[in-house]
Amino acid sequence: MSIPGQIEFLARAIVNRLEDRGVVEFRDAESGIRVVEHVLAENFSLLDSLEQEARVRLTKGNREPSEADLMEEMRRLAAERNTIL
């Protein structure tokens, strides 16, 4: 499954769950799914850019940064950009 396919699947699951629980009711579920897809895609893009920038900042020589170091740097970058992870 491709990333766009995964995003659509996740958006459908979110919309269905929200409707099942009575949190929201979409007159046109497809429209709601498209909105959720758009927001998810934006958020995934933001996370990718944070991860890439964090990797650039942490890369020293040929050594890959640890997952913990990477997450900490991503948190710092998010805080600098007033973004919540």
Q: Which band of pLDDT confidence, cut at 50, 70 and 90, is reported for residue 61?
A: low
What mean pLDDT, rounded, does the chain reach? 89
More confident residue, 25 or 73: 73
Q: Which band of pLDDT confidence, cut at 50, 70 and 90, is reported for residue 54?
A: very high
Q: What are phi and psi of 60, to 5 degrees?
A: -130, 110
> Could you state, in order of their start, the residue ranges of all structural domains in the chain?
3-80
State pLDDT tens for residues 2-34. Answer: 677 899 999 999 999 998 998 888 788 888 899
Taking Cα atoms as reference points, which of 68, 64, 8 lies closest to residue 40?
8
Q: In the chain, what is the straight-line distance between the N-terminal and C-terminal CA atoms, in Å? A: 25
Q: What are phi and psi of 63, to 5 degrees?
A: -85, 130
Q: How far apart are CA 56 and CA 11, in angstroms?
A: 31
Instruction: Name beta bridge partners: 60.
Output: 63
Residue 45 has pLDDT above 90, yes or no: yes
